[in-house]
């Protein structure tokens, strides 16, 4: 069974984030589509769809938020360096996204891990 964060992570918000990360890994770090797929835990056809804009069509909405964009770029740098896999950042990504979209689109969604203080924040 998927956790709340995993379920949210695979919804439309993460598609936009994955699109940004995919493009950044290819354009900035020179990764191949196969390398991106391996690092992100997705298929090569999914990478191709992110790059062509078939998936993650609302990425510009996220890119318009400078704070969230900077956070995604730092995350991408960690992924590119091999220090982090995208799946390892589910809780952080969920938390950052909810901060920005809480009142607009996500409404009253809460993280059960935060409620029960199981995240182990630094």
pLDDT tens, 50-67? Answer: 999 998 888 888 888 888
Q: What is the mean pLDDT of residues 19-48?
A: 94
| Confidence band, pLDDT 50/70/90 cuts, at residue 73 | very high
Q: What is the mean pLDDT of residues 35-54?
A: 92
Spell out the residues 6+ positions from residue 100 whose beta carbon is closer than 8 angstroms to its own: 65, 67, 68
pLDDT tens, 77-112? Answer: 999 998 877 666 666 766 666 666 554 554 444 554
**Res 94: pLDDT:** 66
Q: What is the mean pLDDT of residues 34-63?
A: 90
Q: Write down the pTM of the prediction.
A: 0.66
Residues 104, 80: Cα–Cα separation, whole Å: 31
The answer to whether 56 and 50 are in contact (CB under 8 A) is: yes
**Alpha-helical runs (H) found in the chain:** 4-9, 12-27, 33-40, 44-52, 59-63, 66-81, 90-101, 112-115
Q: How many CA atoms lie within 13 A of 24 on its CB side?
A: 23
**Res 52: pLDDT:** 94
Residues 31, 23: Cα–Cα separation, whole Å: 9
Q: What is the mean pLDDT of residues 35-44?
A: 89
**Domain positions in the chain:** 4-115
């Amino acid at each position: 069974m998927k956790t709340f964060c995993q379920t949210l992570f695979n919804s439309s918000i993460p598609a936009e984030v994955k699109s940004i990360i995919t493009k950044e890994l290819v354009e900035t770090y020179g990764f191949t589509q196969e390398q991106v797929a391996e690092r992100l835990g997705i298929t090569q056809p999914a990478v191709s769809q992110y790059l062509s804009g078939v998936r993650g069509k609302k990425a510009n909405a996220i890119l318009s938020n400078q704070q969230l964009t900077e956070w995604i770029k730092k995350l991408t740098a960690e992924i590119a360096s091999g220090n982090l896999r995208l799946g390892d950042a589910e809780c952080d990504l969920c938390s950052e996204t909810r901060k920005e979209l809480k009142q607009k689109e996500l409404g009253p969604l809460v993280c059960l891990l935060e409620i029960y203080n199981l995240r182990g924040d630094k």
